[in-house]
Structure 1
Amino acid sequence: MEALAVDVVYFYPKENAQTHNTFKFEAVNEEGPKTTIVRRGQPFSGVVRFTRPYDVNNDLVQLVFTLGDKPTLDTQGAMFVKREVVADKHSWSARLTNLENDTLSFEVSTPVTTPVGSWTLRVVTRRKDSEAREIYDFEQDFYILFNPWNPDDLTYMEDTNLLQEYVLNDVGKVWVGPLKTTRGKPWFYGQFDAVVLPACMFMLDRAEMPFHQRGDPVKMARVISRIVNSNDDGGVLIGRWDGQYEDGTAPSEWTGSVDILQQYLESQAEVPYGQCWVFAGVVTTVCRALGIPSRVVSNFVSAHDANSSLTVDKYYTETMEELEFDPNNPEGADSIWNYHVWNDVWMTRPDLPPGYGGWQAIDATPQEASAGMYQCGPAPLEAIKQGVIGLNFDVEFMLSSVNADLMRWRISPESESRYSVVDTNSYHIGRMILTKKPFVFDPIGDADREDITNLYKHREGTASERIALLNGVRHSERAKRYYEVATNLQNDMKFKLRELDTVPIGKPFRIAVDIQNTSDQILPVTRRLLRPHLLQHGNSDGKRLPYGRLTGDGLGGSRLGGRNIKAVLSATSVFYNGVRADVVKKVEGKIFVGPGKKEQIGIQISADEYLPKLVEYCNMKISAMAIVDETKQSWADDDDFQVLRPSINIKFNEDLVIDEPTAAVLSFVNPLDKTLTGCEFRLTSSGVLGRTIRLAIDDVPARGLVSGQLPVQPSKLGNISFVATFKSKEIMDINGAATVEVLEG
């Protein structure tokens, strides 16, 4: 008798998907040949039908699963289907569960360390009394993923309820903007879209990640942080921050990850363009698709420490003009981003001492190389919080990002180091760290915002927070030198830059500095007037005074502790990564402040002055600097804010019914006193045919209604979410979201 010939193999994709938490993948549910998607370390069912009855005494059936084209012990599982099998979490096995004539049902168990990816299956049959074999190759896609529901998996999350958010939720928020006007930007992760898993496989192959390492979430997360950017190896996204996006898609236009991954897979080329929050959105999509719990994390205000000093250093000339470079680091200056976005991923860390598992930070936005490539993490949050910088990977870089001290230095020829400390600020960096709250999605508000600052650092100013930072300093010779130079400075003038809360686009704003003289010295002073029409000032009771007129009771001479101060105020449009775009207004002047007196200086900036110089996201920086003539005390401070734009309102004029076309009405009011041109809406949802719809609309007059109707056809029942963006030549980064229930027909 000949060996068994296979007629068909079937893996019950939908039934297995229910028990393996893969039921949301479109490829499991689509018409035609089904894709099987299971999780490692958990049995799954299959059936094979032969062309003749199975002879239990003489027929042998072997299943051979293989990952990659050069199988090894780690990337191949070969097993005979047997009635009696002792399941082992570290081994492959196949147990016969039912036999009916020519049909054999079985259950396969995979090792809990199985590399994730797209596996192939070969069924090999032969008779016990013969070496002749029959071979059948299963030609449908078969994926094995990480299993965070399994206590033996390195990605296991003890509170499995949270996996509904960190693995199965396909819509979220990314918090962006300056500290005082943070807003949640809706993002469609779409990890269950049919294109995502093939795109993930292409990414890992492009990164040349060895197949046998693809079962280690530590190595996998590090590779993902590298391959989502295009700096080293033809990764997914090209980063760009200069506002010039004509040959690609502006970062603010993206509504989610799927369009990006689809373009990457189809073109097999890098996609232009992304920024940190776009990188982070794609990382979460990839991680959740593969089964690694992931969330997007936003840090306000974020430091880039370019020279491993655990400080962010700003340098000024003797006359307090800010330098655009670091004279002590030719490779690049430190920088401060209004916000920076990266990811947390959840895993056990068997490569580290106990206590460093759980959330790990990875950053796919290229800032500097780690081990020769643009990758960052996974860095344990606990290590970052405690300042333990000797652990893998990149803990020192992340510690600086959230907890570096801001130090300002002034050129000082008489100083041994050539620089003197203007001031130090221990509170400026890492002011707030946000992520999306589990199980909540607020399309139009911030009810879904979760503050996780306490996971990254101790409360600012506490002994624990200082100890954590100094732990890092203690292990860095460069950092020690910087902190030894910085001393507590005693000065008799106090300055405070008044922070701006909100500025609606098209409205004026004012820069103001409060000055207080606490001196009781007797010094000869010569009173000098401010340059007319440049600075405004007021007296201690807050009463406004005319331009150029100073408080005081005399015109010079010896006065008790009087101080003459040179001040410079400026407003600049900036990109969110701290790079300056255009100076909107800069003025300087001198003011006299008597002993025990308070003054306020300020300048007004009109909409006509700043609107032509706004860059993407409408971020502004106000800066103030001062030097005291008598004591040479110097001071500087700055503040970032965002000119606020409207949100898109999404409405439907009728109930949404599955498979029935309708229209989504998108609208907002043009906030500018100018016509909007080159206008386009983009709407994305996983619950409608076509996924992403784009609509160009006519020019919109000044202060007019911006509106468009986009055709949609719901394809899923229940609640579905929509994410919308709008762009024009005059204003961009307008977005909105909505969640709507789709009903039965």
Structure 2
Amino acid sequence: MEDLKIQNVNLQESENLERHRTEGFSGSKTLVVRRGAPVRVSMQLEGRAFNPKTDSLRIKVLLGSLYVVMPVTFSKKVSPRRWKAYMDPKDLNLQNPSIFISSPASAMVGYYGFQLHAFTKGVKKTSAFSKFILLCNPWCREDAVYIPFEAQREEYIQNDSGLMFIGTAMNVVSRPWSFDQFEPGVLEACLNLLRVSPQHQKNRKMDFLKRNNPVYISRVVSAMINSEDDRGVLKGKWKGDYKEGVNPSLWTGSGDILTQWAESGYSPVKYGQCWVFAAVMCTVMRVLGIPCRVITNFNSAHDTNANLVIEEYYSETGQKLKHSADSIWNFHVWVECWMNRQDLGSGMDGWQVLDPTPQERSEGVYCCGPAPVKAIKDRRIDLFYDIPFVYAEVNADVHSIVVSEGRVVSHTKDTERVGSLICTKAVGSPRHQNITGDYKLIRSPSSTLSSGSSTMSEDSMLISRGSSRDMLVILALDKAPFAGEPVHFTVKAVNKQRVARRMKVHLNAQAKEYNHSPSDTFWERHGVVQLGPMEAKVIHQQILPTEYEDVVGDNVINLAVVLEDLTSHTRVLASEEFNIASPELNIEIADEDSIVPNKEQTAKVTFTNSFSHPVSGVLTVAGAGLIQGKVNFRMLPLRPGSSVQQRITFIPNKVGTKMLQARLTLSHINSTIRGFKMISVSRA
């Protein structure tokens, strides 16, 4: 009888990629599939056909030194808890038999090898070898990362571009980002991140065994995104110059960062700040099959002594002082990942906070989470991981203290400022979704007003207020500030006593980066106001573009007013921080409704100079699935009020919704102008 011989094994790539929703990884040299779903492979036999009566097949699947051996049966009944290999007896081609390999819904993530052995009457006759990459499966109900709606899976797994949100809660700024999970080299870099982790290097077998659990995977990734304790991806830097690397504000996507890290032999990429750390982690988690989204917490507290109180100090003239180790970042960015928490109970399933920005150590390592969002809202600080730290970031009280000659002359408490807005990109829409209520109890508008909020008029935007027994001060912007326009604001001084009073008014403006104490005062005004009994006066002020443009740029303004009673020397403080919205680049697409792969398209990027002086710079255009790499153009000096257009050509190579993003980095001014356009690429 002629021996059975396997000529080759066909991994049926196109069919398996479609079945496992991994078409985006079609450029990978290794087949990419998801756990808990069958993979079809077919054998090309040389010579005689397969004989079910005398021949049998066995498959060995290997992950590192771990392996499982299973016979190929004719039963299609599979279990979500164990490996199974079978042939479909109703569709059996004996010359080219197909085999289905089904992995458990809790299989370990990683590179797998498999061996196919054929036996005739119990004697091995032939073998074949191949490999595949196994990821988590949010489409599989038995998988711990199962998320129930297709729109969510599309947004939190498949979407390779998105928006992050920065600025301030009053004036939210959209920042486009390319997650790049399907770009060349990114998949391999993400899997190698697990391989070079300390956990894997210390005990490979134990690391592989634990890779079935998204809680474990997410903690490994959270630590590996920063380079503080390991060969992690990014080196953080928050002050000084960035000459040895890239200014964090200039990154536009995760692909450049992850491939640079891998190609350098896993040397940290310089430099990252919170939104870069979070965006890169979002890419890694989406690649591994764990639903992930980027979160912004506005007025985020960093409570160094864990007392849930942030102290801020001001001089008697309203200058913010650097007297405390605690801080409030105008915004802080982390990620949420969706998973079951069998270690905590089903009540803690769902979104989990993970923060790769190195701030505080967790079990000795710079990582944070996964902390269930439900546990943060319920203040379950007895659970793990890192719930007290995240709880403080969204709930700490702010104590504002005015000091004069080393003595405290005013002390106020604000319980609403921290965590004033928590948001993420809305599913399927280029706007932000307010999820503050997922993290904390939100007071009704009536209770907020009763706690002291007040507006100057129908059109004004409340900033802050300070009050004592004798007087009240309210600071309000007339409208959200925009670059090139004066910042208009009003100060309302109120005498709460039945006798006339003279009061000093001190106004102070300082520029600050989102996570630092302010720099020196760049604008100030001082004056005296006479108030009759129970009288209120409104003082109108403005900061001109020529006064703020050279110091603010991408930074924010800390504006404070101190009202001093000249009789009692009582002082009250009102302060707030706000950003100045930059102009945006406008992107128009020719033939927008007929964009198909492999056909050249044209875009037009327009910039109008709203600054009070000429500007020049470099325009950078990028887009995953649209443009290979980046395209740069130099913009010559442009007069105030003038516009310039740049024509861009691109050739889409992937179907789906893609993002074309443009960034204008201005010379001699700390400001970057951005714009983006969502493009729908249809099948030809």
TM-score (norm 1): 0.81
How many equivalent residue pairs?
A: 653
Residue 719 of structure 1: CA displacement? Answer: 4.8
State which of 278, 281, 284 in structure 1 corresponds to 2:276.
278
Residue 178 of structure 1: CA displacement? Answer: 1.4
Q: Could you tell me how far apart the structure 2 residues matched to 1:719 and 1:315 are?
A: 48
Residue 202 of structure 1: CA displacement? Answer: 1.6
Match of 2:667 in 1: 729
Deviations 1:156-193 (A, max 9, x none): 12334421222222222111111222122222223222
Q: Could you tell me how far apart the structure 2 residues matched to 1:658 and 1:289 are?
A: 23
Residue 109 of structure 1 pairs with residue 48 of structure 2: no
State which of 443, 453, 459 in structure 1 corresponds to 2:442.
459
Residue 464 of structure 1: CA displacement? Answer: 12
Q: Could you tell me how far apart the structure 1 residues matched to 2:653 and 2:410 are?
A: 62
State which of 191, 195, 205 in structure 1 corresponds to 2:181.
191
Q: Could you tell me how far apart the structure 1 residues matched to 2:299 and 2:26 are?
A: 39
Q: 1:697 to 1:151 in 2, by over 3 A?
A: same
Q: What amino acid maps onto 1:667 in structure 2?
A: T
- Conservation of the 8 A alpha-carbon contact between 1:242 and 1:575: no
Match of 1:551 in 2: none
The alignment partner of 1:504 has SS state of: coil
Residue 65 of structure 1 pairs with residue 56 of structure 2: no
Residue 90 of structure 1: CA displacement? Answer: 1.3
Q: What amino acid maps onto 1:437 in structure 2?
A: A
- Conservation of the 8 A alpha-carbon contact between 2:477 and 2:488: no
Q: Pairwise mapping of residues 473-492 of structure 1 onto structure 2 (< 5 A)? A: 491-492=469-470
% same residue:
32
Deviations 1:410-459 (A, max 9, x none): 56999xxx978711111111111211111223xxxxxx321111111111
Residue 588 of structure 1: CA displacement? Answer: 4.2
Q: Could you tell me how far apart the structure 1 residues matched to 2:603 and 2:151 are?
A: 33
Q: Could you tell me how far apart the structure 2 residues matched to 1:199 and 1:191 are?
A: 10
Residue 238 of structure 1: CA displacement? Answer: 2.3
* 270-279 or 285-294, larger mean C-alpha shift: 270-279
Q: Could you tell me how far apart the structure 2 residues matched to 1:114 and 1:49 are?
A: 28
The alignment partner of 1:344 has SS state of: strand
Residue 85 of structure 1: CA displacement? Answer: 6.1
Match of 1:639 in 2: 576
Residue 639 of structure 1: CA displacement? Answer: 1.5
Match of 1:36 in 2: 31
Q: 1:461 to 1:564 in 2, by over 3 A?
A: farther
Residue 387 of structure 1 pairs with residue 379 of structure 2: yes
Q: 1:491 to 1:646 in 2, by over 3 A?
A: same
Match of 1:251 in 2: 248
Q: Pairwise mapping of residues 340-359 of structure 1 onto structure 2 (< 5 A)? A: 340-359=332-351
State which of 52, 59, 68 in structure 2 corresponds to 1:56.
52
- Conservation of the 8 A alpha-carbon contact between 2:178 and 2:253: yes
Q: Could you tell me how far apart the structure 2 residues matched to 1:412 and 1:736 are?
A: 46
More strand by share: 2
Q: What amino acid maps onto 2:85 in structure 1?
A: A
Q: 1:223 to 1:277 in 2, by over 3 A?
A: same
Match of 1:450 in 2: 433
Deviations 1:460-517 (A, max 9, x none): 379999xxxxxxxxxxxxxxxxxxxxxx996221111223532222333355432211
Match of 1:503 in 2: 481
Residue 94 of structure 1 pairs with residue 85 of structure 2: yes
- Conservation of the 8 A alpha-carbon contact between 1:427 and 1:461: no
Match of 1:182 in 2: 172
Residue 494 of structure 1 pairs with residue 472 of structure 2: yes
- Conservation of the 8 A alpha-carbon contact between 2:467 and 2:473: no
Q: Could you tell me how far apart the structure 2 residues matched to 1:714 and 1:398 are?
A: 41
Q: Pairwise mapping of residues 601-612 of structure 1 onto structure 2 (< 5 A)? A: 601=539, 604-612=542-550
Match of 1:535 in 2: none
Match of 1:16 in 2: 16
State which of 141, 149, 153 in structure 2 corresponds to 1:151.
141
Q: 1:610 to 1:563 in 2, by over 3 A?
A: same
Match of 2:631 in 1: 693
Q: Could you tell me how far apart the structure 2 residues matched to 1:717 and 1:84 are?
A: 37
Q: 1:115 to 1:6 in 2, by over 3 A?
A: same
Match of 1:312 in 2: 310
Q: Could you tell me how far apart the structure 2 residues matched to 1:227 and 1:366 are?
A: 10
TM-score (norm 2): 0.87
- Conservation of the 8 A alpha-carbon contact between 1:41 and 1:89: yes
Deviations 1:338-385 (A, max 9, x none): 112211111111111331111111112222222222211111111111
State which of 220, 231, 235 in structure 2 corresponds to 1:238.
235
Match of 1:481 in 2: none
The alignment partner of 2:638 has SS state of: coil
Deviations 1:265-310 (A, max 9, x none): 2223222222222222222222122111111111222211111111
Residue 599 of structure 1: CA displacement? Answer: 3.3
- Conservation of the 8 A alpha-carbon contact between 2:320 and 2:518: no
Q: Could you tell me how far apart the structure 2 residues matched to 1:491 and 1:587 are?
A: 25
Deviations 1:524-563 (A, max 9, x none): xxxxxxxxxxxxxxxxxxxxxxxxxxxxxxxxxxxx3x44
Match of 1:162 in 2: 152
State which of 673, 684, 688 in structure 1 corresponds to 2:612.
673
Q: 1:730 to 1:413 in 2, by over 3 A?
A: closer
Q: What amino acid maps onto 2:548 in structure 1?
A: Y
The alignment partner of 2:580 has SS state of: strand
State which of 354, 366, 384 in structure 2 corresponds to 1:374.
366
Residue 422 of structure 1 pairs with residue 411 of structure 2: yes
Q: Could you tell me how far apart the structure 1 residues matched to 2:445 and 2:415 are?
A: 11
Q: Could you tell me how far apart the structure 1 residues matched to 2:60 and 2:476 are?
A: 69
Q: Could you tell me how far apart the structure 1 residues matched to 2:143 and 2:447 are?
A: 33
The alignment partner of 1:46 has SS state of: strand
Q: 1:575 to 1:400 in 2, by over 3 A?
A: same
- Conservation of the 8 A alpha-carbon contact between 2:409 and 2:571: no
- Conservation of the 8 A alpha-carbon contact between 1:195 and 1:262: yes
Q: Could you tell me how far apart the structure 2 residues matched to 1:273 and 1:253 are?
A: 10
Deviations 1:65-96 (A, max 9, x none): 2223x32xxxx332122224642221111112
* 706-715 or 643-652, larger mean C-alpha shift: 706-715
Match of 2:220 in 1: 223
Q: Pairwise mapping of residues 70-85 of structure 1 onto structure 2 (< 5 A)? A: 70-71=65-66, 76-84=67-75
* 593-602 or 110-119, larger mean C-alpha shift: 593-602
The alignment partner of 1:24 has SS state of: helix
Q: Could you tell me how far apart the structure 1 residues matched to 2:368 and 2:643 are?
A: 44
Residue 405 of structure 1 pairs with residue 344 of structure 2: no
- Conservation of the 8 A alpha-carbon contact between 1:338 and 1:578: no
- Conservation of the 8 A alpha-carbon contact between 2:338 and 2:350: yes
Q: 1:16 to 1:303 in 2, by over 3 A?
A: same
Q: Pairwise mapping of residues 255-334 of structure 1 onto structure 2 (< 5 A)? A: 255-267=252-264, 268-316=266-314, 322-326=320-324, 333-334=325-326
The alignment partner of 1:182 has SS state of: strand
Residue 234 of structure 1: CA displacement? Answer: 2.6
- Conservation of the 8 A alpha-carbon contact between 1:284 and 1:295: yes
Deviations 1:649-697 (A, max 9, x none): 11234564542334322121122233334x2222222332515333334
Task: Give unmatched runs, 5+ long, in structure 1.
Answer: 29-33, 327-332, 442-447, 466-487, 521-559
The alignment partner of 2:99 has SS state of: strand
Residue 246 of structure 1: CA displacement? Answer: 3.4
CA RMSD between the two structures: 3.1
Q: Could you tell me how far apart the structure 1 residues matched to 2:404 and 2:582 are?
A: 43
Residue 338 of structure 1 pairs with residue 316 of structure 2: no
- Conservation of the 8 A alpha-carbon contact between 2:507 and 2:525: yes
Residue 313 of structure 1: CA displacement? Answer: 1.5
State which of 391, 403, 428 in structure 2 corresponds to 1:439.
428
